[in-house]
């Protein structure tokens, strides 16, 4: 019998899906539209949509089988599935929290290819079917902590990113891993201009150090709540890095490139004084415009029912990842 490590969560602790899906109407309800032009997009997203509305119809999601459930260290309830489906940051489909669930349903996810290239001996191109046929899926129950100071508990389905990278055989020059989201303005209205897409220069890009990417917690996700990913959650393939702020967990990935030097990342390019490359959850380091000491855990209700809880260093995964940053000043390397 396999013994679960102490940091695993229980399946019953995931935030219910229904809670994950609401938030946009609060700006109007609180009369904040007048100040919207002066508030950066990331803050607007954190303020808006807490009252929410009923979830729109979502694209069909197929059931997925998995080999085991790994429960990583908390006792909180799961975020309701409907909340996970409607409370999203995915600026390619709009900057309000409910925009992705409303605007992403036509995203074509089949066929889809994910390439792994760069400083590797064996470049690979994977389809979703290839991945599902080649690796057993695991259910990973992780905390998700947004830089906007809200959080969820999500039952992801996926495989460790390390399994894919190992197939590509990194060479001695590979020190970092760069990721890129699909660029398709026809399907992704937020990519048509920087005004509609939160000021971002698309495609969305992210990066990790190679040792971070190879850590067992780093997940390539193809599903949640026992089914394939919905488009608004990053279908068909996304990254999940649970000890970092959510913007590091890039969605709808089409390219992974191993590189020698630290790659550019979208939010660092947009505001490097606010969003660092590492983006480790750290309650002791405030965002320039708000504290990170606590977070609003999204549950089954709206704004008034969101539970305020203390934020843990590395989002509670310090036992697994703190050694990656030994000797680093995490106030400088934020």
CATH code: domain of residue 212: 3.90.420.10
Could you tell me if 29 and 47 are in contact, meaning their C-beta atoms sit under 8 angstroms apart?
Answer: no
Looking at residue 76, its pLDDT comes to 81
User: Model pTM?
Assistant: 0.85
In a domain, 4, yes or no: no
* Residue 119 zone, left/alpha/beta (φ > 0; ψ -120 to 50; rest): beta
In a domain, 5, yes or no: no
In a domain, 182, yes or no: yes
Per the structure, the complete domain to which residue 35 belongs is given by: 11-325
In a domain, 36, yes or no: yes
Give the number of other Cβ atoms within 10 Å of residue 43's Cβ: 15
In a domain, 246, yes or no: yes
Reduced to 3 states (helix: H, G, I; strand: E, B; else coil), residue 66 is coil
In a domain, 6, yes or no: no
Mean pLDDT (the chain) is 87
Instruction: Give 206-228 pLDDT, tens digit per residue.
Output: 999 999 999 999 999 999 999 99
Weakest-pLDDT range from 25-39, 191-205, 309-323: 25-39
In a domain, 80, yes or no: yes
- Cα torsion through 241, 243, 244, 247, rounded to 10: 50
194/249: higher pLDDT: 249
**Domain count of the chain?**
1
In a domain, 266, yes or no: yes
């Amino acid at each position: 019998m396999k013994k679960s490590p102490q940091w695993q969560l229980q399946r019953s602790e995931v935030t219910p899906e229904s809670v994950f899906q609401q938030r946009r109407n609060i700006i109007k309800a609180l009369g904040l539209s007048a100040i919207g032009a002066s508030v950066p997009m990331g803050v607007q997203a954190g303020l808006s949509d807490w009252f929410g509305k009923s979830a729109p119809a979502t694209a069909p999601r197929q059931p997925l089988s998995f080999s085991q459930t790994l429960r990583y260290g908390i006792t909180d309830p799961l975020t309701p599935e409907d909340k996970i489906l409607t409370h999203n940051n995915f600026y390619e489909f709009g900057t309000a929290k409910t925009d992705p669930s409303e605007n992403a349903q036509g995203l074509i996810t089949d066929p889809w290819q994910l390439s792994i290239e760069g400083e590797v001996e064996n470049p690979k191109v994977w389809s979703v079917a290839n991945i599902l046929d080649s690796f057993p899926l695991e259910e990973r129950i992780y905390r998700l902590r947004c830089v906007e100071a809200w959080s969820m508990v999500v039952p992801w389905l996926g495989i460790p990113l390390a399994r894919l990278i190992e197939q590509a055989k990194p060479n001695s020059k590979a020190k970092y891993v760069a990721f890129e989201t699909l660029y398709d303005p026809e399907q992704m209205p937020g990519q048509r201009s920087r005004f509609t897409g939160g000021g971002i220069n698309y495609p969305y890009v992210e990066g990790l150090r190679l040792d971070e990417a190879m850590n067992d917690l780093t997940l390539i996700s193809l599903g949640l709540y026992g089914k394939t990913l919905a488009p608004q959650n990053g279908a068909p393939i996304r990254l999940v890095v649970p000890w970092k702020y959510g913007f590091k967990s890039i969605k709808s990935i089409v390219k992974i490139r191993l590189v020698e030097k630290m790659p550019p990342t979208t939010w660092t390019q947009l505001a490097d004084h606010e969003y660092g490359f590492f983006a480790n959850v750290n309650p002791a380091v405030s965002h320039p415009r708000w504290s990170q000491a606590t977070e609003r855990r999204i549950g089954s209700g709206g704004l008034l029912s969101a539970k305020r809880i203390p934020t843990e260093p590395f989002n509670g995964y310090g036992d697994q990842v703190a050694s990656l940053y030994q000797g680093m000043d995490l106030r400088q390397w934020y």
